[in-house]
Amino acid sequence: MTQTLDTLTAKYPGADSFAFGDSAELSAELIALVRSGKKTGTCGALRDISEGGEAMPVTGRKAIALDWDGEPALVIETLSVTISRFCDVDAEFALSEGENDDLAGWQRDHQAFFERNGGFSTEMELVCERFRLVEDLAGEAQ
């Protein structure tokens, strides 16, 4: 049964919605990594939150991850949030994102992402979030 965004926000009061990535392909890849259990972390540029874009994640928050077409795909719960400069992100956090096999690969891919999305600096501050999968809207509840 497909759940609508309205149904989910009623089920998870206060839940924000967001999309992973910056393209349909990347979004699908990241959702698949969360579903597989490989992705338990994500990050974004602090400037995107500071300028009124995305909501700042807080511990205990539920969020609805949308697929690229805007359909609900997952519900996650924030376990922890830290602010870290890009250059200070460690391998443990980088690997929690599930996208790379090492810190160097994470740095390369995230630098390219931030260059495409507003600019990059090794000193830029990132909002680093650890989360758990609460509900897979493809049918597998956690």
Residue 142 is predicted with a pLDDT of 43
- The answer, as to whether pTM is greater than 0.95, is no
Tens of pLDDT, residue by residue over 103-133, are 999 999 999 999 999 999 999 999 999 999 9
Which pLDDT band holds residue 55 (cuts at 50, 70, 90)? Answer: confident
Residue 138 is predicted with a pLDDT of 87
Q: Rounded mean pLDDT of the chain?
A: 93
Domain boundaries, the chain: 5-136
In this structure, whether the domain defined by 5-136 belongs to CATH 3.40.50.1820 is answered with no
Residue 8 has pLDDT above 80, yes or no: yes
Contact 117, 57 (CB under 8 A): no
Residue 51 is predicted with a pLDDT of 61
Residue 140 is predicted with a pLDDT of 45
